């Protein structure tokens, strides 16, 4: 919490990496206990650093670069979907007409991806009309990104086991940092979003790509 203390924090986090991994993997403490024990781990900078310590991959830069590189082709692929999913994808794409920024294009691509894979956006993105509704439902949120419409619909809050981890971050960054937290905290992917997280891991972060499900492999061939 001291000013200009980032270098010291980074050095201490690097030195305690082995101890922290043993605690998290073998003791599996509750998230709130990890926050109390290792508060610096929940800073965006240290999430990136911890992910790199575990995988040697740069988290946000790799995720965003790969997402940006495949967005155009990805949107062509998902737009071919028909039925109810196709209608939802077209509705999501219309958001581009309102605010065509790189953050919005990334968010639209991710949302369309979830629908294309046959999974539900609301399992990843929990939308609330106001802060009161958000606070009333906070304890029920296990592993997702909250979006409060009357606060700033273009930013999200990462939630794990009812705890607010990071707030006020654009939605695509939330997705990348959530992947970093999953690795740092040794969490399992939610079953209802296993294909979405597999795409994040194996296509956007290029990790463990040899063991890929048929659905994600077909998507990879279609895009690349």
Domain count, the chain: 1
In a domain, 28, yes or no: no
| pLDDT for the residue 1 | 63
Mean pLDDT, range 191-198, rounded to an integer:
96
Average pLDDT over residues 91-120: 90
Classified as helix, coil or strand, 123 is helix
Flag whether 212 is in a domain: yes
Residue 130 pLDDT exceeds 90:
yes
Paired sense of beta strands 163-170 and 125-128, if any: unpaired
Q: What is the spatial distance between Cα 45 and Cα 83, in angstroms, rounded to a whole number?
A: 42
Mean of the per-residue pLDDT values of the chain:
93
**What percent of the chain has a predicted confidence (pLDDT) above 70?**
99
89 touches 79 (CB < 8 A): yes
Buried b (16+ CB within 10 A) or exposed e, 18-49: eebeebbeeeeeebeebbeebebbbbbebbbb
Residue 136 falls within a domain, yes or no? yes
Residues sharing a CB contact under 8 Å with residue 73, sequence separation 6 or more, in sequence order:
222, 223, 224
Which pLDDT tens digit goes with each residue over 24-83?
Answer: 999 999 999 999 999 999 999 999 999 999 999 999 999 999 999 999 999 999 998 889
Q: Confirm whether 85 is domain-assigned.
A: yes
Residue 22 counted as domain residue: no
Task: Please give the pLDDT value at position 212.
Answer: 87
User: What is the H or E stretch that residue 133 is in?
Assistant: helix 131-136
Q: Tens digits of per-residue pLDDT, 131-150?
A: 999 999 999 999 999 999 88
pLDDT tens string 107-118: 999 999 999 999
The token duo for 15 is: 């030195």
Domain assignment of residue 96, yes or no? yes
pLDDT cut 90: percent of the chain above it: 85
Question: pTM of the entire structure?
Answer: 0.93
Q: Pick from 17, 26, 24, 20: which is nearest to 52 by CA?
A: 17
Is 50:184 a contact under the CB 8 Å cutoff?
yes
pLDDT digits (tens, 9 = 90+) for 197-222: 999 999 999 998 778 898 999 999 99
8 found inside a domain? no
Considering the domain boundaries, does residue 161 fall inside one?
Answer: yes
Paired tokens of 153: 């619909």
Residue 95 confidence (pLDDT): 77
Determine the pLDDT at residue 153: 78
Q: Give me the domain span that covers residue 45.
A: 39-223
- Give the model's pLDDT for residue 18: 97
């Amino acid at each position: 919490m001291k000013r200009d203390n980032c270098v010291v924090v980074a050095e201490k986090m690097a030195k305690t990496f082995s101890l922290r991994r043993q605690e998290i993997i073998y003791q599996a403490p509750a998230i709130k206990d990890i926050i109390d024990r290792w508060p610096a781990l929940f800073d965006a900078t240290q999430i990136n650093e911890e992910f790199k310590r575990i995988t040697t991959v740069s988290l946000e830069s790799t995720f965003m670069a790969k997402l940006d590189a495949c967005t155009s082709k990805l949107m062509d692929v998902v737009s071919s979907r028909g039925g109810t999913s196709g209608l939802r994808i077209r509705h999501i794409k219309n958001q581009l007409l309102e605010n065509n920024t790189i953050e919005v294009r990334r968010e639209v691509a991710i949302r369309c991806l979830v629908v294309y894979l046959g999974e539900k956006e609301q399992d990843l993105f929990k939308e609330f009309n106001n802060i009161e509704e958000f606070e009333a439902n906070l304890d029920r949120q296990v592993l997702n990104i909250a979006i409060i419409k009357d606060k700033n619909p273009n930013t999200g809050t990462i939630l794990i086991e009812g705890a607010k981890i990071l707030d006020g971050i654009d939605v695509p960054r939330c997705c990348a940092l959530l992947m970093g937290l999953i690795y740092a905290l040794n969490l399992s992917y939610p079953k209802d979003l296993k294909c979405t997280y597999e795409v994040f891991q194996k296509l956007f972060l290029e990790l463990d790509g040899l063991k890929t499900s048929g659905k994600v492999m077909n998507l990879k061939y279609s895009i690349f």
